[in-house]
């Protein structure tokens, strides 16, 4: 299997994910929040804040996907070891940090209002910690990209 095929297949899957996420944001979540507000009138006041937090969380996912798509474009063109790639890696780091922040904001909001089931709280804590861990991992990967780009530039001068 060629590298080009893998990159194109991954790009197609990520574009499909963007379309599905957009549909969930625009149709699925608003509909679901309306159903929950109707079925649980005592918690209906939470509809808009929780819907907003859910949409913000999915925006973080979309930012990460878009940055990854751009980096895959660099891979296809053989330009991944360029300083232009650094900003896109920073975007992925920001998306992970943003998703952690959304999870923590959801925990804080629900702590001040109606807490969800314990498993939901554990999932939010896990999401916050996972986002932080992945941001740290991407920071290390960015450092490696900077070093590789520097080495490549030095090798280009030598050759």
> pLDDT tens-digit profile of 112-123?
887 778 898 899
Is a pLDDT exceeding 60 seen at residue 141? yes
Residue 91 dihedral angles phi and psi, to the nearest 5°: -65, -40
> pLDDT tens-digit profile of 10-60?
999 999 999 999 999 999 999 998 998 898 888 888 889 989 999 999 999
CA distance 88 to 15: 17
Tokens of 39: 């079925």
> pLDDT tens-digit profile of 59-107?
999 999 999 999 999 988 888 888 888 999 999 999 999 999 999 999 9
Nearest to 147 by CA among 97, 87, 86: 86
CA distance 26 to 75: 32
Q: Where are the domains of the chain?
A: 3-158
Query: Max Cα separation, the chain?
Result: 71
| Predicted TM-score (pTM) of this structure | 0.86
């Amino acid at each position: 299997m060629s590298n080009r095929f893998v990159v194109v297949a991954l790009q197609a899957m990520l574009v499909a994910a963007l379309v599905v996420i957009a549909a969930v944001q625009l149709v699925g979540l608003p509909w679901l929040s309306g159903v929950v507000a109707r079925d649980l009138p005592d918690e209906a006041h939470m509809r808009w804040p929780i819907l907003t937090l859910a949409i913000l969380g999915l925006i973080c996912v979309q930012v990460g996907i878009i940055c990854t798509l751009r980096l895959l474009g660099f891979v296809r063109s053989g330009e991944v070891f360029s300083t232009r790639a650094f900003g896109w890696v920073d975007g992925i780091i920001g998306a992970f940090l943003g998703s952690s922040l959304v999870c923590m904001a959801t925990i804080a909001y629900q702590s001040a209002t109606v807490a969800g089931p314990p498993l939901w709280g554990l999932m939010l804590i896990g999401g916050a910690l996972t986002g932080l861990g992945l941001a740290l991992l991407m920071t290390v990967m960015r450092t490696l990209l900077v070093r590789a780009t520097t080495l490549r530039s030095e090798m280009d001068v030598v050759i």
